[in-house]
Amino acid sequence: MSIHEVARRAKVSIATVSRTINGVSTVTPQLSRRVWRVIEELGYYPNTQARSLVSGRSRIFGLIVSEITNPFFPEIIQGFEDIAVQNNYEILTTSTVHDPKRIALSVRRMIERRVEGVAIVTFGMEEALFDDLKSRKIPLVFIDVGPPLPRISNIRIDYQHGIREAVQHLAALCHERIAFISGPLILKSAMARQRAFIESMEEIGLAVDPNHLIEGDHTMEGGIKALKKILNFPKRPTAVICSNDMTAIGVMRQSYEEGVHIPRDLSLVGFDDIRLAQFMIPPLTSIKMSQTEIARMAFNALLSEVQRDIPSPDGTEYVLRTSLVLRDSTAMAPAGARKKVSVLKKSAE
Amino acid sequence: MSIHEVARRAKVSIATVSRTINGVSTVTPQLSRRVWRVIEELGYYPNTQARSLVSGRSRIFGLIVSEITNPFFPEIIQGFEDIAVQNNYEILTTSTVHDPKRIALSVRRMIERRVEGVAIVTFGMEEALFDDLKSRKIPLVFIDVGPPLPRISNIRIDYQHGIREAVQHLAALCHERIAFISGPLILKSAMARQRAFIESMEEIGLAVDPNHLIEGDHTMEGGIKALKKILNFPKRPTAVICSNDMTAIGVMRQSYEEGVHIPRDLSLVGFDDIRLAQFMIPPLTSIKMSQTEIARMAFNALLSEVQRDIPSPDGTEYVLRTSLVLRDSTAMAPAGARKKVSVLKKSAE
DNA sequence: AAAATCCGAGAAAACGTTTTCTTGAATGAC
DNA sequence: GTCATTCAAGAAAACGTTTTCTCGGATTTT
């Protein structure tokens, strides 16, 4: 039951039991053995609540994700959990399903549980929702593109690198009209990806038709809708880059529906490189953003923040690089639409 | 900071603050207002640990799943979380990745946190691992096929119904040689599905070729391997039923690789009906086992167990029905292999 | 051999709550 | 007008730990 019961049966004080369990200070081997035996006999497990009440350390980290049903996130959660186990931490996960109320509630619960830190892996949210955390000086780590905020660590994703690779890859396959399906543009991260796309296109001297920037919503349904739009354009793009893999899956699905063959009629590039990508038909070329790595970085950021007695005035910035993974969903542009230098100018208008 | 600070500033006792917060017993409206104002001002959130230490109720349920990276589980987690939020519970989720050590650790942590109940949604595990929970009389709910154990609730999945529908559907399409890719047969649930398949086949008068019972492992990779085997059989099956959708996705993937067209050359049925199923190419016919429903049942089972002051001697048994969802991955058997009555006997040998 | 030091282990305080017990003022009954 | 009753709010105990303080016996030092 409680430590008192153990103490009573072992005929020692509760202090000795506590010391035995924590292996701290010195306890005679003889006594220690006696105590351990009683603990085993009783199947006694210490009460974490009481423990952390007095120690002031909960050994819990919070993890807030956008929506657990998007396969991108479970990989992160798993990675986070794996490393948490190694470090004797527990995690309290919340899937906010994009509901500000849920986020607020979750933040509140985490504070009430006195979590030692919170990792926020949700692409875009109202930052004000986390003010409570900030004002309580609870270590925070965001996964985003923003500049380091005071006292808040940030894992910046280098979207540019992977996207540039994708654009170059498509250009090398003579694609000229490349569309980009973004996430909801209110999100900073979605905006950043789109900007990276535009910059990469300009860099390489390809024109971006504003019509070819389509706002999606990071879901498969969004991918379906987006492709429908794309197919209605008078000058169809010959390649599409999606800002996440779920969107790309939707695009593939709708292409099948409409008889558009990937990659023969349309080249497709995803983003995130979720595990599923390689099992798609055809296997999806995607821009990798290692979920395991994100999880590892986020956890370590929190851990080092917690272990540091004097918190760093500014948060630390970590950077995660993205890079293209080639598979079978991209191919040479259809013969009729291949890029020729002379065409370039014209199609830019 | 703490309730004392609030009490000091509002010039009341801590008891009054506690009463105000909990809205229990009577506290003068005037005082109540004064207290609430201070609470707001200070941004005071009560410490859950202290709370549940004295109240003896943690308001946490544990949720143990096999592997969060299998899309089947996130849907359950989301459902569980949704209903938990409504009921003011929090959940501690663990993805065990099939590691008994991880399960044991997780169980231990949950006991240490004094969870009020645990839902175990992992298809097959050593039950002994949960003895600690049982002996502490912590409400438990399993998702499985077993008979109700003493004091343990159980959500039995009626595999038979959905599988029978699938077999009948395939038979109606003149399939005769139907293969079944199971999960790891050490798992009770995997065994149950396979048995349901065999029984359904016999029921309808179709022979089961023992070679056509292939043991998979519930992963996409397992599906790939299984299909390779199947394609090597002298008398190829014309239809395959998989015991989960991930396996089916692997099968689709490998079919593509080998130039086997689904559903023209091979009909395919999955199991679970995860959301992804409808986005596959072609959309996957699958046996639906509603994840939301499982989550709801599991949560309610725990909740009613907790609320009941005298625990029921035996656990309650709940039943979830499965049923076939038709999509495009099944079609008429190839002309050469259609079932004829006269052939039936012969092919059974 | 006496004094000084060390150290193992118990007593008790503390953590932040809820809840029971107590108190004292106000209300109602006669 | 006195006494009983009610009820709001404070005091204090309790929850199960960790940790500081204290004590007393054993060991070391001279």
Q: Looking at residue A28, which CATH number applies to its domain?
A: 1.10.260.40
Residue B51 is assigned to a structural domain of this protein: no
The answer to whether A184 contacts chain B (CB < 8 Å) is no
- Statement to judge: residues A191 and A329 lie in one domain: yes
- Statement to judge: residues B235 and B342 lie in one domain: yes
Closest CA to A14 of A44, A43, A41: A44
The answer to whether A322 contacts chain B (CB < 8 Å) is no
Q: Which nucleotide is nearest to B22 (CA to C1')?
A: C18
- Tell me how close the Cα of A300 comes to any Cα of chain B, in angstroms: 20
CA dihedral B98, B102, B108, B112 (to 10 degrees): -120
pLDDT at position A349 is: 36
The answer to whether A128 contacts chain B (CB < 8 Å) is no
Residue A267 is assigned to a structural domain of this protein: yes
Identity of the amino acid at A52:
S
d(CA A92, CA A322): 28
Which letter does DSSP use for residue B272 in this model?
A: E
Q: Which nucleotide is nearest to A53 (CA to C1')?
A: C15
Listed by range, residues with Cβ under 7 angstroms from strand D are A 1-4, 14-15, 17-19, 21-22, 24-25, 44, 46-47, 50-51, 53-55; B 11-16, 25-28, 30-31, 50, 53-54, 56
Cis check: omega of the bond before B29, within 30 degrees of 0 = no
Read off the pLDDT of residues B52-96 as tens digits, 9 standing for 90 and up. Answer: 999 999 999 999 999 999 999 999 999 999 999 999 999 999 999
Question: Which pairing describes strands B153-158 and B178-182: parallel, antiparallel, or unpaired?
Answer: unpaired
Closest CA to A197 of A186, A212, A184: A212
Residue A51 is assigned to a structural domain of this protein: no
Task: Give the containing element (helix H, strand E) for B106.
Answer: helix B100-112
- A124 and A130 Cβ atoms separated by less than 8 Å: no
Helix axes A3-10, A14-22, angle to 10 degrees: 100
d(CA A101, CA A29): 54
Which residues make beta-bridge pairs with A143?
A155
d(CA B116, CA B305): 10
pLDDT at position A147 is: 66
- B78 and A96 Cβ atoms separated by less than 8 Å: no
From A92-101, A154-163, B143-152, the region with the lowest mean pLDDT: B143-152
Q: Which nucleotide is nearest to A7 (CA to C1')?
A: C10
Closest CA to B349 of B212, B189, B207: B207
Give, for all 349 residues of chain B, the pLDDT tens digit.
899 999 999 999 999 999 999 988 788 999 999 999 999 999 999 999 999 999 999 999 999 999 999 999 999 999 999 999 999 999 999 999 989 999 999 999 999 999 999 999 987 677 788 899 999 999 999 987 666 677 788 999 999 999 999 999 999 999 999 999 999 998 888 999 999 999 999 999 999 999 999 999 999 999 999 999 999 999 899 999 999 999 999 999 999 999 999 999 999 999 999 999 999 999 999 999 999 999 999 999 999 999 987 767 777 889 999 999 999 999 999 987 776 644 344 333 3
- Statement to judge: residues B185 and B36 lie in one domain: no
Cβ neighbours around B90 below 10 Å, total: 20
CB contact residues (below 8 A), chain A span 212-271, against chain B? 220, 249-250, 252-253, 256
The answer to whether A59 contacts chain B (CB < 8 Å) is no
- A74 and B69 Cβ atoms separated by less than 8 Å: yes
Q: Which nucleotides of C are covered by protein (CB under 7 A)?
A: 7-12, 14-20
Residue A313 is assigned to a structural domain of this protein: yes
Closest CB to A281 among B46, B97, B281: B281
- Statement to judge: residues B200 and B337 lie in one domain: yes
The SS3 of residue B90 is strand
- Span CA (B54) to C1' (D20), Å: 24
Task: Check the CA dihedral B274-B279-B284-B285 and report its sign.
Answer: positive
pLDDT at position B26 is: 81
Residue B168 is assigned to a structural domain of this protein: yes
Residue A198 is assigned to a structural domain of this protein: yes
Quick one: tokens of B102?
């991880």
Q: How far is CA A53 from CA A50, A113, A230, B3, B18, in A?
A: 5, 10, 58, 14, 18
Q: Which nucleotides of D are covered by protein (CB under 7 A)?
A: 7-12, 14-20
Which residues make beta-bridge pairs with A240?
A179, A268
The chain-wide mean pLDDT, for chain A, equals 92
- Statement to judge: residues B276 and B197 lie in one domain: yes
- Statement to judge: residues B249 and B333 lie in one domain: yes
Confidence of residue A343 (pLDDT cuts 50, 70, 90): very low
Res A341 pLDDT > 80: no
- Statement to judge: residues A173 and A115 lie in one domain: no
- Span CA (A18) to C1' (C10), Å: 13
Q: Do B69 and A74 touch (CB under 8 A)?
A: yes
d(CA A162, CA A168): 10
The answer to whether B199 contacts chain A (CB < 8 Å) is no
Confidence of residue A347 (pLDDT cuts 50, 70, 90): very low
From A213-227, A245-259, B116-130, B247-261, the region with the lowest mean pLDDT: B116-130
Residue A36 is assigned to a structural domain of this protein: yes
The SS3 of residue B36 is helix
- Span CA (A26) to C1' (C7), Å: 9
Listed by range, residues with Cβ under 7 angstroms from strand C are A 12-16, 25-28, 30-31, 50, 53-54, 56; B 1-4, 14-15, 17-19, 21-22, 24-25, 44, 46-47, 50-51, 53-55
Which letter does DSSP use for residue B150 in this model?
A: B
- Statement to judge: residues B207 and B341 lie in one domain: yes
Domain assignment of residue B109, given as a range: 56-158+291-322
d(CA B27, CA B29): 6
pLDDT at position A230 is: 96
- B61 and B299 Cβ atoms separated by less than 8 Å: yes
The answer to whether A53 contacts chain B (CB < 8 Å) is yes
Closest CB to A90 among B43, B77, B109: B109
Contact residues, chain B, for A220 at CB < 8 Å: 279
Looking up residue A300, the CATH number of its domain turns out to be 3.40.50.2300
Q: Residue B103: phi, psi to the nearest 5?
A: -60, -50
- Tell me how close the Cα of A143 comes to any Cα of chain B, in angstroms: 20
Give the residue-averaged pLDDT of A87-96: 96
Please, is B29 exposed, middle or buried when counting C-beta atoms within 10 Å of its C-beta (0-12, 13-18, 19+)? exposed
Q: Which residues of A299-313 are buried (b: 16+ CB within 10 A; e: fewer)?
A: bbbbbebbeeeeeee
- Tell me how close the Cα of A77 comes to any Cα of chain B, in angstroms: 8
Who contacts A260 (Cβ-Cβ below 8 Å, separation ≥6)? A227, A231, A266
Nearest-by-CA chain B residue for A65: B78
Cβ neighbours around A55 below 10 Å, total: 10
- Statement to judge: residues A167 and A226 lie in one domain: yes
- Statement to judge: residues B329 and B231 lie in one domain: yes
Q: Do A111 and B52 touch (CB under 8 A)?
A: no
Count: domains in chain A: 3
Q: Which residues of B116-153 are buried (b: 16+ CB within 10 A; e: fewer)?
A: bbbbbbbbbbeeebbebbeeeebbbbbbbbeebbebbb
Nearest-by-CA chain B residue for A292: B69
Cβ neighbours around B53 below 10 Å, total: 18
- Statement to judge: residues B116 and B219 lie in one domain: no
Who contacts A15 (Cβ-Cβ below 8 Å, separation ≥6)? none
Q: Do A90 and B69 touch (CB under 8 A)?
A: no
pLDDT at position A148 is: 64
- Reported as half-sphere exposure (CB side, CA atoms, 13 A), residue B229 has a value of 17
Residue found by looking up tokens 């959309």 in the block:
B283
Contact residues, chain A, for B104 at CB < 8 Å: none
Task: Give the containing element (helix H, strand E) for B223.
Answer: helix B220-232
Q: Which residues of A334-346 are buried (b: 16+ CB within 10 A; e: fewer)?
A: eeebebeeeeeee
Q: Do B43 and A135 touch (CB under 8 A)?
A: yes
Identity of the amino acid at B261:
H
- Statement to judge: residues B147 and B90 lie in one domain: yes
Closest CA to A133 of A146, A147, A119, A121: A119
Give the residue-averaged pLDDT of A319-347: 78
Cβ neighbours around B309 below 10 Å, total: 5
Who contacts A58 (Cβ-Cβ below 8 Å, separation ≥6)? A52, A113, A114, A115, A116, B49
Residue B220 is assigned to a structural domain of this protein: yes
Q: How far is CA A221 from CA A189, A226, B78, in A?
A: 20, 9, 19
The answer to whether A135 contacts chain B (CB < 8 Å) is yes
- Reported as half-sphere exposure (CB side, CA atoms, 13 A), residue A308 has a value of 16
Q: Do B69 and A75 touch (CB under 8 A)?
A: yes
Contact residues, chain B, for A53 at CB < 8 Å: 47, 49-50, 53
- Span CA (B52) to C1' (C7), Å: 38
H-helix segments, chain A = 3-10, 14-22, 29-42, 48-55, 72-86, 100-112, 131-135, 159-172, 188-204, 220-232, 245-258, 291-307, 341-348
Question: Which pairing describes strands B239-242 and B267-272: parallel, antiparallel, or unpaired?
Answer: parallel
Q: Angle at CA B127, nearest 5°, toward B126 and B133?
A: 130
Give 3-state DSSP helix, strand, coil % of chain A, rounded to 5.
50, 20, 35
The answer to whether B128 contacts chain A (CB < 8 Å) is no
Instruction: Pick from A3, A42, A47, A110 the residue to mutate for testing the B interface (most B CBs within 10 Å).
Output: A47
- Tell me how close the Cα of B301 comes to any Cα of chain A, in angstroms: 22
Which residues make beta-bridge pairs with A63?
A93, A119
Contact residues, chain B, for A75 at CB < 8 Å: 69
Read off the pLDDT of residues A282-314 as tens digits, 9 standing for 90 and up. Answer: 999 999 999 999 999 999 999 999 998 776 777
Which letter does DSSP use for residue A149 in this model?
A: B
Nearest-by-CA chain B residue for A95: B78
Q: What percent of chain A has pLDDT over 70?
A: 95
Q: Do A253 and B279 touch (CB under 8 A)?
A: yes
